[in-house]
Structure 1
Amino acid sequence: MSIEADLEYSRTSKRVKAIKPSGIRKFFDLLSGMEGAISLGVGEPDYTTPWHIREAAIFALEHGRTMYTSNSGTPELRREIAAYLNRIHELDYDWKSEILVTVGVSEALDLATRAILDPGDEVIVPDPCYVSYASCITLAGGVPVSVPTYEDQSFEINPMDVARYITPKTKAILLGFPANPTGAVMPANKLSEIAILAERHNLIVISDEIYNRLTYGVTVPSFASMPGMKERTVLLNGVSKCYSMTGWRIGYAAGPQEIIAAMTKIHQYSMLCASSMGQAAAMEALKNGEEDIQAMVEDYNRRRMVMVSGFNSLGLSCFDPRGAFYAFPSVKSTGLSSDEFAERLLKEEKVAAVPGTAFGEQGEGYLRCCYATSMSQIEEALERIKRFLSRL
């Protein structure tokens, strides 16, 4: 080995080498600077944060509330989070010891995996799933174990399959429903079966519920509300998606005191605390933002129906998503791989979508398309995709 190669090897950790660059970012890099392009790839609302929420942050700024807060978050926000979880899910959390405010849900996920995992511990995750799941587990020293989900089973994770993947090394199950990238939701009866497995095998469940309020015709329970699961669940949520506050970077975790204390210990040595102004805005969102959620959900539902029916009419069979704001059409009928289809569609028709392989092996043959964009953009994108398909 040359001196240069030896230096390169020694300067980066094996854990970092083990994770792949984000498949989503690759397509945003290609999109950058492309005139007239339509992006169906951005996983964030196209709404501006509602004025009353922005005004709460402005008020905090005007009154000089710009200092550090408690590591755990302001008492006012933690009280509001506890009240919200009680109001929406009938969950009773102690705001002083069982709730932590984080810099987005991404940090909450990172803290949760680092707080509970020892080297070699296994964590079961659905496949496909959000791009950060496996990477966070790996960076925490754990081993992600993917359980395949299938379109003909509504992309729900099958409890019987979960049972087959549990080993003596399994420490946790990581669930993200409603799901990114598929839009799948989990019915209560299947969540109950997973709860039985968690209790039987003494497992922790990390439940990413960031899309929990963005559902269409269904109600998705919090996993922590399953019988006996509150003490086994680390509930992750935030204000990014349902209040259109992605850039504010305010998330939270709720869970057993022991785990929240461990997460807080890591948090205070890394992020220290979330933005004080962002916390003021988040408190207003949770307290007075119900009408905003309902308006957005109604609009997303209209866009969802147009996009899903559009893909189906083009011969790209599309699973009917019941949550989040993503469609996951199949491109298998074209004979192209997900990456080939996405790259050619971007270069030839200037429509950006994320190949399903960015979310796991089971994503091959699919695209993730976000309908949190204007109706006119969705309709124009479908026209361009139709034109692209006509040339194949």
Structure 2
Amino acid sequence: MDFNFSEEILVLKKSVRDFIQTEVEAVAMQIEKEDHIPERIIELSREMGLFGLSIPENYGGLGIGMVGKCALYEEIGATHNGYTTLIGAHTGIGTVGIVELANENQKKKYLPDMATGQRIGAFALTEPSAGSNATNLKTTAVKKGDKYILNGLKHYITNATEADIFTVMAVTDSEKGAKGITSFIVEKSFPGFQVGAVEEKMGLKGSHSAELIFENCEVPIENVLGTEGQGYVNALKILANGRAGLAARNLGSCQHLLDMSMKYVQEREQFGVPIIEHQAVAHMIAEMAVEIEALRSFTYRVAWMVDEGMKVIKEAAMLKLYGSEVYNRVADKAVQVHGGVGYISDYPVERFFRDARITRIYEGTSEIQKNIIAGQLKKEYR
């Protein structure tokens, strides 16, 4: 395994780091207070090509492999997680399905605008009755002539208010269970589609989640993504592919928390010495550093496996589980190390602590990842 980055990735990595540190970090508290990412930041992100990380060059994207993409995600993760989520959801589950499963006409129609960020992507699977049990979908798609008519409700859909293109899962044959689910490319402008209530969340300010409402929504037959009846399989592929990227974003946040913590413990004094000199604090810092380094190695190993075309169902689930749990432990220790300052909303540690919590839930809960891992192990040990 070779985790060395190409010269191109190293240049991009530095550019992204500079952008994050000088532009996004400067407005991080503004994003938190206003629950809005300034349009200037979005436009600068477009100019840098950050919306096209997953999209091949022949469709206007950067065409970066998973190892390179994780290198950039690590930098993007080191700032406000609302911004990180907007970019990550678009370049991950919002576009990966179209890149990997769409036919040529669909790719030519949608990917160029998605690569430039002129059209944002989102992934719509979760429903009130279908979260962890993704096969229990109630949204239906009935074929009528040259269209499918969709009816149903999705919720907790990341990028819902910003997105123009949605990868939507719906039931086309209720008798076939998981094999009766089909995926569709749905445009926000399609008749019968609307964005519903925006959900107020504990964290991830600036990243908006909302309901999607389908009332006799007309979707052209040519907008079936992949093969009819393969939607559940498609969903699993899309989610698995994105897990290395999600871990890399978590890794970036963890490293940023360690950086902030190291600065603080060397400046803050108690009993006449910097608090890093107190063993209890030193041990917490050491534990943070060990877990971050382990997560870094695991992330790039799975990313390398993806680039090599290897099967990563088990490893991706392990990584998603481990990455989200590490982020939560690191954020908790960072608050503890900072003491009262870490609990104050004017200081970023408190924000990361709240933002970390969702990573154990979205894109597959920790419990679901354990089920996937156990299921794969049972196959291996037969």
TM-score by length of 1: 0.23
Point out which structure has higher relative CO (alpha carbons under 8 A, 6+ apart): 1
